[in-house]
Amino acid sequence: MNRMNRPEMTSTAPRIRCEGDDCRKKAVQETEPAAPRLRLCRECLYLFVARLRQLPALHAELEEVLGGRATGEGQERTSGGPVPSGLPFNAAAADVRADITATLSSWSGLVVAERGAPTPQRTVTALAALLVRHAAWLAAHPAVADATREVARLVRAAHRVAHSEPPRRMSLGPCVMPGCPGRLVTELRGRDVESGPGIRCDADGAHTWPGRLWTELRRAMRRAGDGPAQERWLTASDVARLWSTPTGTVYRLASEQRWRRRSTAGRTYYAESDVHECFARRRAAGSDAGI
């Protein structure tokens, strides 16, 4: 056959479809094509990395839940101080924490065995960091579908356990407005710190303050002789909600600023005055946006 008349040879091999957990849930015709030389589309690779980066923070949040942080709808307790006795150990939080560590260890073991990467410490932070560094390699691995499914499942399970806490009403002390017989209360709803809790008087709806003013209100109570003078102790969760700050930032500041701390029943509490002084300095320096 004349070369000029020879039919042109073209590849008819279909492009690999994405094997990521999110794409696999779509209808076949909606599944994205994988990126070149990978088994994941760019969006699924991004989600895989983002979820790996979430796991250390979620693992830390679950530690707070272990002692039974949720107290039930409408139940009231005093801010700070030891956790009330009789709260159940949260087995679901313990199970998810163990599952996070075991799953990340398993996939890190694959990376170490097949890539010769140094063996990381068996901490969630170190294991997740290793997998993030080798995410592109994993995205080309035949087992990546399982990896994305397991990581997505861990994130969903951790959110479900850590964020399912019902509203918790905290009594903060007598209202600071002259002649008001009410008490100041705040409701802590889950772990949403974007807007932060408000402080209100249970006798007069006009008496309200943002949560970040809690320590100033406490000082007003003391000046009026109505509030206890002893140091209050707050959990990282209390600090995060009252100052509208991510829990991870609370732990970082506690370490950097050397807040006084005490441990009770396996939980860590921070001195309220140290917390207040730290956030007051940051607010005065105009660094709130970086909190």
For residue 173, what are the β-bridge partners? 184
Looking at residues 101-125, what average pLDDT do you find?
92
More confident residue, 240 or 143: 143
What is the structure's pLDDT at 268?
A: 83
DSSP string, 54-122: HHHHHHHHHHHHTTT----TT-EEESSSSPPTTPPP-HHHHHHHHHHHHHHHHHHHHHHHHH-PPPPPS
Q: Is the pLDDT of residue 12 over 70?
A: no
Give the integer Cα–Cα distance in Å for 131 and 108. 6
What is the structure's pLDDT at 197?
A: 56
Q: Which helix (H) or strand (E) holds 160?
A: helix 144-162
Give the integer Cα–Cα distance in Å for 172 and 175. 9
Q: What tokens were used for 161?
A: 């356990």
What is the structure's pLDDT at 22?
A: 83
What is the structure's pLDDT at 147?
A: 92
Tell me the pLDDT band of 88, cut-offs 50, 70 and 90: very low
Tell me the pLDDT band of 114, cut-offs 50, 70 and 90: very high
Tell me the pLDDT band of 224, cut-offs 50, 70 and 90: low
Annotated domain spans of the chain: 21-162, 169-283
More confident residue, 155 or 66: 155
More confident residue, 223 or 107: 107
